[in-house]
Amino acid sequence: MPVVTVTSQNEIAIVRVNNPPVNALSHAVRSELFEACESLDKDDTIKAVVLICDGRTFIAGADIREFNQAPKEPHLPDVINRIEMSTKPWIAAVHGTALGGGCEVTLGCHYRVAVKSAKFGLPEVHLGLIPGAGGTVRLPRLIGIESAISMVTTGKPISASEAHQNGLVDAVAPDGELEAFAISFTRSKMTASLPIAISRRPVTDVPDDKTSKEILAGVSAKARGQLSPVEAAASVLDSGKLDVVEAFSSERERFVQLKESEQSAALRHVFFSERQTSKIGKLEGIKTRNVQSCGVIGGGTMGAGIASAMLLAGYEVIMIERDEEAASAGAQRVAKTLDGSLSRGLISQEKRDAMGEAFSTSTQYEALTATDLVVEAVFEDMKVKKQVFRKLCDVCRPDAILATNTSYLNVNEIAASATNPERVLGLHFFSPAHIMKLVEIIETETVSDETLATGFAIAKKLRKVPVLSGVCDGFIGNRILANYRKQCDYMLEDGASPQDIDTAMRNFGMAMGPFEMQDMAGLDIGWANRKRLAPTRDPKERYVKIADRICELGRFGQKTEAGWYQYPEGSRKGIPDPVVEEIIAEERKAAGIVPRSFTMAEIQSRILQAMVSEGQKILDEGIARSAADIDMVFILGYGFPRWRGGPMFAGGVRDT
């Protein structure tokens, strides 16, 4: 079956790409596009060409799956150069997303029209790459250096109207009328002479050397260790200074080098892994339940976050709290989040109003008699959780799905306290729940496939990445985190300071260091958990008491203006604290330890090894399905750098 077909309408050829799911530029697409260009140039009955795509989107880029194979001719830059050199005008007609190589194909065309909902982007940086088919050379010649650098370094797509404003798009068509609009646009250009090819135009805003250096320094600071954004900016800047042939070859060299890099391998692993987490063999074809309404038990930070996430995804939400005061505080937290989304332009006023209508609070569990799903987010205490589940079983429909948001507790035990335990599962959200992309879906011994499949469907509607986890203390994420922290505590007692460890891990690429993160999240939850585990702890295991002693002083992190660091007057920037230094010194002395220094590399390597060894145990026990799932948990839930591919990938553990 051809992936590119050519038809004609009164001297206009329609070149149509049909390569589902996203019309990626596979070898077949490239070859057939090249052939189409050759034969249309020779066809005297054709005066102009419309390039359009079938399916849900315009070309979404090079075929990423082919990056692991030896490249085959025709290469994409040659196809695009061939289109640009055509003797007849090519008009790209774009719907969906023209991304990466897809966007570069449009730059080889002589004009671009797009429907209102279309988007244009060069997201190669997210794959550890730069545009490799002329994007960094043609884009600055069309829209200027500054806009081009923004597009290639952030990878963020821009809307058709923005693209129209900056000159990337020549005309915007109403949604649903692309083909007719493109044909009529083409007809209006048929008699005009061909515009100068973009690659032959000058770059008009080349910055001087000093400004170029500042631009690169700014991009590098934001990239925090990732190479591709810096290389992408450098390629755009160079293309303004070099002759166009040299600019193409310099871009290509950078692209090929990055394609072979560990960072690009890691980011490609992340791209595919993110899409694999919800592909669970046994759930394929299982019918999911229709969930429209959701009860949330608890209006604290987590409960309010979950309620907000549910509202933003279009669910009706009833929040249950113990009294009117707590219910009103919970409602205020939800309102603050939704108003924040409104003020940042993420939702319209109309949507905000609809969410207000869809949300209610109650102090009575009886308000949940008709809800399809309930998520419990109360205090981390087994007794309290069981009480909640018993109440829910009394009032909810016998088939209502009941979920716990526990971070550590045994969900099998919680399910056993419920009637119809096949409807009980864990939905472990991460704070702030309306933003964080991860949900761990906890599979109990008794949960039905229908309930599990519905859990995955809910996560999809919430636009989150679900990762399946078996039951164990802390599931995938918090169990590995506990081991990570233990390793930090050992190094702390052995001689490293909280600042040494935080700096090392920030330099590794983590969003935050472990002690800063604890201060932000609150030290009290971890303390309560350590107390819960104390009776079953192996007395022979090394136990560092520093964190407990800090908590005993009521220092729970930013919220109490003191934790591992001090935060004078509510500041969010912690400063080292002599009180903590003294506790550390005392504990070292009590343990008979002579403190030694740690290099940054040693800290990073010990922490990574601790994560990998616990991750391997989790795999061996069947708690996680794959190393890739563990990687996704850490990247999406704990700020592990994407460009390292996740802890397992970085530690050399790959799925076969």
Distance in angstroms (rounded) separating the CA atoms of residues 288 and 453 = 6
Task: Return the structure tokens found at 469.
Answer: 């986890």
Residue 486: phi, psi to the nearest 5? -60, -45
Task: Using CA atoms of 199, 158, 126, 122 in order, give the dihedral in degrees to the nearest 10.
Answer: -10
Q: How far is CA 90 from CA 87, 335, 421, in A?
A: 9, 50, 61
**Of 126, 164, 269, 428, which one is the catalytic site residue?**
428
Mapped onto helix, strand or coil, the DSSP state of residue 644 is helix
Q: How far is CA 632 from CA 89, 466, 478, 635, in A?
A: 45, 9, 13, 5
Which H or E run contains 113?
A: strand 111-115
Task: Return the structure tokens found at 629.
Answer: 């799932």
Would you say 131 or 526 has its CB closer to ligand 3H9?
131
Instruction: Please report, as ranges, the residues that interact with ligand 3H9 according to CB under 6 A.
Output: 21-22, 24, 57, 60-65, 76, 97, 99-101, 104, 123-124, 127, 129, 131-133, 135, 275
Find out whether 34 and 68 touch, Cβ atoms under 8 Å.
Answer: no
Mapped onto helix, strand or coil, the DSSP state of residue 120 is strand
Distance in angstroms (rounded) separating the CA atoms of residues 188 and 394 = 70
Upstream peptide bond of 74 is cis (omega within 30 degrees of 0)? yes
Least Å from the CB of residue 450 to ligand 3H9: 23
Q: Is 428 a catalytic residue?
A: yes
Amino acid at site 318 = I
Q: Find the angle CA(226)-CA(231)-CA(237) to the nearest 5 degrees.
A: 145
How many other C-beta atoms lie within 10 A of the C-beta of residue 21? 9
Task: Return the structure tokens found at 332.
Answer: 């205020």
Supply the Cα-derived Rg of the chain in whole angstroms. Answer: 28
Distance in angstroms (rounded) separating the CA atoms of residues 190 and 590 = 86
Would you say 60 or 459 has its CB closer to ligand 3H9?
60
Q: Find the angle CA(449)-CA(450)-CA(451) to the nearest 5 degrees.
A: 90
Find out whether 462 and 309 touch, Cβ atoms under 8 Å.
Answer: yes
Find out whether 564 and 519 touch, Cβ atoms under 8 Å.
Answer: yes
Task: Return the structure tokens found at 225.
Answer: 């260790």
Burial of 362 (0-12, 13-18, 19+ CB in 10 A): middle
Least Å from the CB of residue 63 to ligand 3H9: 5
Closest CA to 647 of 518, 431, 476, 521: 476
Least Å from the CB of residue 645 to ligand 3H9: 16
| Cβ-Cβ contacts under 8 Å for 578 (sequence gap 6 or more) | none
Least Å from the CB of residue 628 to ligand 3H9: 13
Which H or E run contains 531?
A: helix 523-533
Least Å from the CB of residue 185 to ligand 3H9: 25
Q: How far is CA 367 from CA 65, 332, 405, 532, in A?
A: 50, 20, 20, 33
Would you say 109 or 338 has its CB closer to ligand 3H9?
109
Task: Report CA 271 to chain centroid distance, whole Å.
Answer: 9
Residue 294: phi, psi to the nearest 5? -140, 130
Question: In the chain, what's the furthest Cα-to-Cα distance?
Answer: 91
Would you say 132 or 646 has its CB closer to ligand 3H9?
132
Task: Return the structure tokens found at 646.
Answer: 């996740």
Would you say 156 or 322 has its CB closer to ligand 3H9?
156
Least Å from the CB of residue 25 to ligand 3H9: 7
Mapped onto helix, strand or coil, the DSSP state of residue 72 is coil
Distance in angstroms (rounded) separating the CA atoms of residues 227 and 127 = 11
Least Å from the CB of residue 406 to ligand 3H9: 30
Q: Which residues are catalytic?
A: 428
